[in-house]
Amino acid sequence: MDYFINEEKAKEVIERVRKNKIEFVDMQFTDIGGTLKRKGISAKDFESAIYKGSFFDGSSIQGYARIHESDMILIPDLGTYVEMPNKKARVICDVYTPDGKPFEGYPRFILKRTLEKMKKSLGPDSAFYVAPELEFYLLDNRNENLALHDSAGYFDAAPKDLAESIRDECIKFMKKIGIKVEAEHHEVGPGQHEIDIVYGDALKLGDQTITYKMIVQGVAERNKLLATFMPKPFEDKPGSGMHCHINIVKEKNGKKYGNLFFDKNSEREDNLSDYALYSIGGIMKHAKGSCAIWCPTINSYKRLGKSEAPKYIMFGHTNRSALIRIPAIRKEDYNSIRFELRCPDPSGNPYLTYAVILADMLDGINNKISPPKEVEKDMFHASHKEIETLPNSLEEALRELVKDDVVKEALGEHCLDEFIRLKNAELRDFNSHVTNWERKRYLHV
């Protein structure tokens, strides 16, 4: 078996299960699309699962095994064990094959593998830090109309903002299970919201992003609402993104002690290091090939280029129409220098999103890919033919994906093939569906 059991941690978790009289443990993992899956087992069986794993049918999980190789094993990552209400606990798992090898198509393993490549390239104390800003809409779920929950706008307060108490409920639950929240507010769209979680290691933030979505949707349902992370649920309202704040830091024993994106001797006014600039260059070079992973649905491409969702492949500082933005910081806080990638949306798998971002950055760093000059013009209200754009559709994004060797290598053959297969099936289904728009447009032609 290739998986390592930390005996000290195992004993600690088993003792907590016994002491707190936990009855059931949710063994959680994701499919290739990012949907959270679970296998609930008794506390008695959980002790055995720590050492031997727990079998499940991989052929029934989207993007996993074929029917003749269906047996797979869940191995709990004990660092993710948290206790929930009603004598339950949850733990996020890794997926292995019956011979004890990591399953190469498991999104969490793909991120782990990319993080290992970073450490080989930049040193064992390097860490990829991410802070995602997930936006979502709350809709009235009591009838088929799915009406917007309120009519408030950006940063509006109660009583116009009807969901302040719902966001508070989400935050309380997040804090109980160890997710630190930095900020929350009403977003631009009516019924649209954002809760920002604190910056941290990409693997930890991948786990937290999946859990965040589960909490928000669960709390909404308890309040007779529907929380949707759909990128563009309304054609005349702002889309929902997952802007990612990113840098690479130096870390020891879980504590940050340096920032590779900061160069105190830089001639640039913003003190961006070569590591930061090459990372930006790598992302810009591979943005087209990465877009299918960052924006993985047909609906994703109705968001890009509208309401501060970038379309042009460029970077800037104050420019929110840019693909990459360098946020303003206080001069005494240069160690927090980072950049913000603004095109990803919350409909995809965060493990794959973060893995591909890092793979692009490593290609930029290793091959010293310098980005073009910053652009500070508003690109939403003008056409700039000299600047490349992101794909206009999922179909185009898939064509760009298969041409990009860096992104393909990051995903691995199994994940790449399954992702393309599933997305082509989605396109075929969509293209055969007759919409109300078509009926209105063509019924009387």
We report the CATH number of the domain holding residue 71 as 3.10.20.70
Q: Is residue 318 very low, low, confident or very high in pLDDT (cuts 50, 70, 90)?
A: confident
The verdict on residue 444 lying in a domain is no
Q: Using DSSP, state whether 390 is helix, strand or coil.
A: coil
The verdict on residue 428 lying in a domain is yes
CATH code (residue 307): 3.30.590.10
Q: Is a pLDDT exceeding 80 seen at residue 404?
A: yes
The verdict on residue 87 lying in a domain is yes
pLDDT for the residue 240: 97
pLDDT tens digits, 122-143: 999 999 999 999 999 999 876 6
For residues 76 and 136, state if they share a domain. Answer: no
Q: Provide mean pLDDT across the span 31-36.
A: 95
Q: Is a pLDDT exceeding 60 seen at residue 1?
A: no
The verdict on residue 445 lying in a domain is no
Among 64, 81, 103, give the residue marking a domain's end.
Answer: 103
* Rg of the chain (C-alpha set): 22
Among 72, 103, 134, give the residue marking a domain's end.
Answer: 103
pLDDT tens digits, 344-403: 999 999 999 999 999 999 999 999 999 998 887 766 655 566 789 999 999 999 999 999
For residues 40 and 138, state if they share a domain. Answer: no
For 217, the enclosing helix (H) or strand (E) is helix 202-222
| Tokens coding 428 | 């075929």
More confident residue, 191 or 384: 191
The verdict on residue 1 lying in a domain is no
Q: Is a pLDDT exceeding 70 seen at residue 330?
A: no
Residue 345 near residue 34, CB atoms below 8 Å: no
Task: Count CA within 13 A, CB hemisphere, residue 416.
Answer: 19
Q: Is residue 66 very low, low, confident or very high in pLDDT (cuts 50, 70, 90)?
A: low
For residues 282 and 368, state if they share a domain. Answer: yes
pLDDT for the residue 386: 74
In degrees rounded to 5, what are phi and psi of residue 46? -65, -40
Q: What is the pTM of this model?
A: 0.95
Number of domains the chain is built from: 2
Q: Is a pLDDT exceeding 90 seen at residue 34?
A: yes
For residues 180 and 86, state if they share a domain. Answer: no
Q: Is a pLDDT exceeding 90 seen at residue 104?
A: yes
Among 68, 103, 138, give the residue marking a domain's end.
Answer: 103
What is the DSSP track for 126-141?
EEEEEEEEEEEEEEE-
For residues 322 and 211, state if they share a domain. Answer: yes
For residues 268 and 142, state if they share a domain. Answer: yes
Residue with token string 């870390």:
251
The verdict on residue 443 lying in a domain is no
For 55, the domain range is: 7-103
Q: What percentage of the chain reaches a pLDDT higher than 70? A: 95
The verdict on residue 2 lying in a domain is no
Using alpha carbons, list the distances in angstroms from residue 161 to 9, 35, 62.
44, 29, 38
For residues 159 and 91, state if they share a domain. Answer: no
pLDDT tens digits, 212-227: 999 999 999 999 999 9
For residues 130 and 91, state if they share a domain. Answer: no
pLDDT tens digits, 236-253: 999 999 999 999 999 988
Residue 361 near residue 283, CB atoms below 8 Å: yes
For residues 202 and 307, state if they share a domain. Answer: yes
Residue 354 near residue 111, CB atoms below 8 Å: yes
The verdict on residue 166 lying in a domain is yes
How far apart CA 162 and CA 176 sit, in angstroms, is 24
Question: Which residues, 6+ apart, have CB-to-CB distance to 303 below 8 Å?
Answer: 231, 232, 239, 240, 241, 295, 309, 345
For residues 25 and 119, state if they share a domain. Answer: no
For residues 189 and 230, state if they share a domain. Answer: yes
For residues 224 and 134, state if they share a domain. Answer: yes
